[in-house]
Amino acid sequence: MKQRISWLFTASLVATDALMAGLAFAAAYMLRLQSEYENIDIFSAYWGMLLVHVATIILVFFFYRLYHRQRATSHIDEFYAIFGATSVGTIAAIAFISLLYKSELDYPRLMMVYAWVLTILLVWWGRVVQSRFQWSLQARGFNEVRLIIVGAGEVRRMILQKIRQSPGLGYSVIGFVEDHDRPLSVLGIDVLGKTNDIPRLVEMHHIDEVIIAMPEASRKEILSIIALCEREKLSIKVFPDVFQIIASEISIGDLNGLPLLTVRDIALRGWRLALKRSVDILGSAVAMLFISPIMMLVAILVKLDSPGPVFYAQERMGLDAKPFMMLKFRSMRSDAEAKTGPVWATHDDPRRTRIGAFIRRFSIDELPQLINVLLGHMSLVGPRPERPVFVEQFKRSIPRYMDRHREKSGMTGWAQINGLRGDTSIVERTKYDLWYIENWSLLLDFKILLRTLVSVFSDKQAH
């Protein structure tokens, strides 16, 4: 039954792509009619070209594995994949059309461009609609994936919370497996047994997937658990350890003939630094231009709401662990830390002002940091800066914590869009920050910015 439902989802995806690619070609023809005044053949003369265009796009998508869709693929990642595959597919379609029709029918360059751009946009839009429909069905139990989580501690809690935050992915956590003295349940999910019980549990509960959440386990332990999962078509996923996260791209060098693996490298060097800085300047300047009326209104409300300055300047640690003054709209009383000293903000923090609770909920208090970006203290995207007092604490207890400061701090970051903000694990946040530093790309920055904008209204950890 599950296999049949999966096949139907894939078939509907192929049909959606074919329909959208066909509509894009037809729309390109209509745009050509609007932009050219010479005699143009009627649309029925282009049916053959349309079929070649659609068939080529579908074929290229197949080779790009766009029909082996992962459940957790984001719309942004899918857009990148569609952009690349459609570009190749359009070029291939033009080559086939030129070969088949030669000079029998004209296919002007402008119409080619229209077809390319519209195919990208319409196919992506069609996939968004199709995935939303699929997620709604999966949230109701269709094509459900039954899984168990192997491991103990904070990691398994984080995985469970992520699954519960995305019911549309269709995952159903049946239980936990761990070898330690175990409680009866964790967060409402039963602990079913120990690792040696995995084969029995898989058969008894009809498990489809096993997630191994043991980042500190040795390779021997991981392999022994994998060996227990012998059932055919059982999917196995492993939560990576620190080494796997920071060394996703290992380069091989040598020292006078002695081979060495480079696992601690940074992606932002040379021209990439200039490119990132250019995007920061342009992005912050344009953003400040458009949101200046909002910032003016917030400044007035902050001033009227409680006595004290409009802005709150706080010392943070940035690039190369150098301090700078980070700007925020004041959201707390002026004497908020007079008795407590430096502490983190908490949910329903009593020190907040009335307007402060609102602007913190939607991260409006952080808009003045665009000034920091424009001045070069910060970047739009990067590890979030911490106060010096907290940095001194973390660097003594968290391995490689200071490596976060090899890049500029950011208004948003890879850790933040993955739910690691506020009162969350510093260890896990550091792992995400290090992964970002060593895997930076401009497309990754754009992805983080887009996901930040989307999450502004849905992030319940902002306070």
pLDDT of residue 257: 52
pLDDT of residue 266: 56
pLDDT of residue 138: 82
296, pLDDT greater than 60? yes
Place of tokens 């920071």: 246
Euclidean distance between CA atoms 192 and 174, whole angstroms: 9
What is the mean pLDDT of the segment spanning 322-327? Answer: 91
CB contact set of 254 (below 8 Å; sequence gap of 6+): 260
What is the mean pLDDT of the segment spanning 147-152? Answer: 84
Winning range, highest mean pLDDT, from 16-25, 346-355, 411-420? 16-25
What DSSP character marks residue 272? H
Euclidean distance between CA atoms 291 and 288, whole angstroms: 5
337, pLDDT greater than 70? no
Euclidean distance between CA atoms 378 and 432, whole angstroms: 18
Beta bridge partners of 259: 254
Euclidean distance between CA atoms 249 and 440, whole angstroms: 11
Euclidean distance between CA atoms 182 and 199, whole angstroms: 19
CB contact set of 103 (below 8 Å; sequence gap of 6+): none
pLDDT in tens, 308-320: 888 888 889 888 8
What is the mean pLDDT of the segment spanning 134-148? Answer: 83
| Burial of residue 219 (number of CB atoms within 10 Å: 0-12, 13-18, 19+) | exposed
Euclidean distance between CA atoms 234 and 209, whole angstroms: 6
* First-last CA distance in the chain: 44
* Residue bearing the bigger pLDDT, 251 or 301: 301
pLDDT of residue 374: 93
Length of the chain measured in residues: 463
Euclidean distance between CA atoms 202 and 199, whole angstroms: 5
What is the mean pLDDT of the segment spanning 330-357? Answer: 68
455, pLDDT greater than 60? yes
Euclidean distance between CA atoms 357 and 329, whole angstroms: 12
What is the mean pLDDT of the segment spanning 405-425? Answer: 82
pLDDT of residue 142: 80
pLDDT of residue 51: 92
What is the mean pLDDT of the segment spanning 221-229? Answer: 82
Euclidean distance between CA atoms 205 and 234, whole angstroms: 13
| Burial of residue 370 (number of CB atoms within 10 Å: 0-12, 13-18, 19+) | buried
Structure tokens at 150: 């192997």
- H or E stretch including 14? helix 2-35
What is the mean pLDDT of the segment spanning 260-264? Answer: 51
What is the mean pLDDT of the segment spanning 139-149? Answer: 83
Q: How confident is the model at residue 286 (pLDDT cuts 50, 70, 90)?
A: very high
pLDDT of residue 416: 86
Indicate the average pLDDT of the chain. 81
Q: How confident is the model at residue 381 (pLDDT cuts 50, 70, 90)?
A: very high
- H or E stretch including 75? helix 75-101
Euclidean distance between CA atoms 220 and 42, whole angstroms: 68
Cβ atoms of 414 and 428 closer than 8 Å: no
pLDDT of residue 370: 93
- What are the counts of helices (DSSP H) followed by strands (DSSP E) for the chain? 15, 12
Q: What percent of the chain has pLDDT over 70?
A: 82
pLDDT of residue 121: 95
Cβ atoms of 159 and 177 closer than 8 Å: no
* SS3 call for 145: strand
**Nearest in space to 90 (alpha carbons), one of 45, 56, 132, 50:** 56
* Residue bearing the bigger pLDDT, 273 or 286: 286
Structure tokens at 114: 């229209």
* Residue bearing the bigger pLDDT, 83 or 109: 83
Place of tokens 């932009």: 35
pTM above 0.85, yes or no: no
Q: Which domains does the chain have, with CATH numbers?
A: 2-139 (no CATH), 145-239 (3.40.50.720), 271-455 (no CATH)
442, pLDDT greater than 80? yes
Residue 223, number of CB atoms within 10 A of its CB: 10
Please state, in angstroms and as integers, the Cα–Cα distance from residue 399 to each residue in 12, 214, 220, 309, 434, following that order. 47, 18, 23, 38, 11
Place of tokens 């009866």: 184
Euclidean distance between CA atoms 328 and 94, whole angstroms: 53
Winning range, highest mean pLDDT, from 7-11, 25-29, 33-37? 25-29
Euclidean distance between CA atoms 159 and 149, whole angstroms: 8
Beta bridge partners of 75: none
